[in-house]
Structure 1
Amino acid sequence: MPKDSAGHLIPGRVSPRLSVPSGIPRPEYVGKPNPAKNTQGDLYTPDEVALIREAGRIAAQAIELVGRHAVPGVTTDELDRIGHEFLVAHVAYPSTLGYRGYPKSLCSSINEVICHGIPDDTVLEEGDIVNIDITAFKNGYHGDSNQTFVVGEAKQEVVDLVERTREALNRGIKAVAPGRQVNVIGRAIEAYAKRFGYGVVRDFTGHGVGRSFHSGLIIPHYDSAPLYDDVMEPGMVFTIEPMLTLGGIAWDMWDDDWTVTTRDKSLTAQFEHTLVVTERGAEVLTLP
């Protein structure tokens, strides 16, 4: 994703996908056009949660490592290599690699890219922000997380957007409790984001995760009541991953069928955790 004369991102050159050692188990969808449908629901035993936590820890550690390398002059392709090598060194498969044909081991979404940016020869510049989304697959389970990093020094409104998006995720997590409908999560996020006039992206949501990369359970980040009325139960696992913008929430998708940008080219940030519903609230499973 190089930039045009107006400073907006355009598609860059995507290098060949990286290889994964044959001894690392693949998710069932690798080599197929679509994943198998989830038929086992979103509830997990404590032993299964422990395995998701292990995968989530690896993903979180990979994101931290990649984030330390997100500095001016580095390409997103190089960040992909760093994340990929960390995952395979920990005997984990990069869940995005080969998912519905996705060609890379992480998503790198810069500035106006809402989500699903494909690493390429774009060079990070001072003042950019970049979201790094990594999911690790290990022992048959996925752990999914992302963080937005500021590249060098950025304008205060950009720094504020990033930190407030992180806080929006925290607000969503605090809303989790057994017996509540999942739509309370988005209500908490949108109420916070609207205090600052931010756009809250609606069409890309949190999701059930664990045995499947995306189980079919939808976790909206806006006040969607009375829709999305699934009731949270102890043992339920899903992601919360709000995407906030400095402008509108209308979006466009590039011809690669992955990269999603704000239509008005406003900056956007995102943070994500995988969590499990507990008797008292939520436990985050994607901590380093």
Structure 2
Amino acid sequence: MTVTQEEELDGLKEIGKIVANAMEAMAKALEPGMTTRELDEIGAAFLEREGAISAPQSAYDFPGATCISVNEEIAHGIPGERVLARGDLVNIDVSASKDGYFADTGATFRMPPSQTWQERLCRAGKRATQIGIAQVATDKPLAGIGNAIGAFADKQGYTLIRNLASHGVGRSLHEYPEEISTWPDRSERRKINKGLVLTVEPFLSKGGLFAESGEDGWTLYSEPAAPVVQYEHTVVATDKGAIIVTLPG
């Protein structure tokens, strides 16, 4: 989607705040002993109260309102009977629509007590996303996002999952430009047009390079096996930089 009118930006900000607040409500509820289904029900109830529709369910018939991925699961985890435990890394990904506008956000949370390497990985994952967002502006190269994130990851000694990309969003969950690399990609020649709506969502890892599908056909795992964190925002490109629409409030 390309934003051309203020009312479009307002619509994106509304759904952006809803998904951000839903994710925050789920994060606050995290506690050992609860199942991922119980956590998902909190997100589903929040979206329903706000008049929003789960995007994974509506677009792909996903078996959950949100995606919840724990430890070895790195994305698209199905909410179910898995019990959350102390020390887990829990990724919550919330995307939804309202009044024809879509927004997508996600973050990885630590269940205390966390280990030092987990804290460092999460801190670096947040920073990688910020660095990517800083590359979003009118007429800048799309490749700049992955180049900047890749340079940061290399300097910090981390790897990037190279087949889980950012994407256009706005009028649907996934739209042009599809497959925006969050790693260095020499083949990327596209530029960011004014008003472009996209996600920035690097998957930072302690050794993982690719995502592989599990037996359920949804859940993705790191190959080679390694811890992975993901932080995601939906942003709008402007002449002055990126407007982040997925902020809680």
- Which category of TM-score, normalised to the shorter sequence, fits these structures? over 0.9
Larger Rg: 1
| Structure 1 residue 214, shift from structure 2 partner | 0.3
Q: Is the 8 A contact 1:42 1:209 kept in 2?
A: no
Distance 1:98 1:47, change over 3 A: closer
Please name the residue that 1:263 is paired with. 223
> What TM-score, normalized to structure 1?
0.83
Q: Which residue of 117, 139, 149 corresponds with 1:189?
A: 149
Higher helix share: 2
Please name the residue that 1:60 is paired with. 20
Deviates more, 1:89-98 or 1:165-174: 89-98
Q: Which residue of 108, 114, 118 corresponds with 1:148?
A: 108
Q: Is the 8 A contact 1:98 1:104 kept in 2?
A: no
- CA deviations on 1:141-191 (whole Å, 9 max, x unpaired) are 111100111011111001110111011000001111211111100111111
Number of residue-to-residue matches in the alignment: 247
- CA deviations on 1:97-141 (whole Å, 9 max, x unpaired) are 143231110000111222111111111111111110001210111
Q: Is the 8 A contact 2:208 2:228 kept in 1?
A: no
Please name the residue that 1:219 is paired with. 180
Are residue 229 (structure 1) and residue 199 (structure 2) matched?
A: no
Deviates more, 1:53-62 or 1:43-52: 43-52
Please name the residue that 1:133 is paired with. 93
Unpaired runs of at least 5, structure 1: 1-40
Give the SS at the match of 1:136: strand
Looking at structure 2, the residues matched to 164 and 44 of structure 1 have their Cα atoms a distance apart, in angstroms, of 34
Q: Is the 8 A contact 1:44 1:236 kept in 2?
A: no
Structure 2 matches for 1:14-163, cutoff 5 A?
42-163=2-123
Deviates more, 1:270-279 or 1:254-263: 254-263
Q: Is the 8 A contact 2:208 2:227 kept in 1?
A: no
Give the SS at the match of 2:156: coil
- CA deviations on 1:13-57 (whole Å, 9 max, x unpaired) are xxxxxxxxxxxxxxxxxxxxxxxxxxxx54443211210110010
The AA in structure 2 aligned to 1:160 is R
Deviates more, 1:171-180 or 1:92-101: 92-101
Looking at structure 1, the residues matched to 72 and 141 of structure 2 have their Cα atoms a distance apart, in angstroms, of 31
Q: Is the 8 A contact 2:199 2:234 kept in 1?
A: yes
The AA in structure 1 aligned to 2:184 is D
Percent identity of paired positions between Structure 1 and Structure 2: 36
Looking at structure 2, the residues matched to 287 and 122 of structure 1 have their Cα atoms a distance apart, in angstroms, of 29
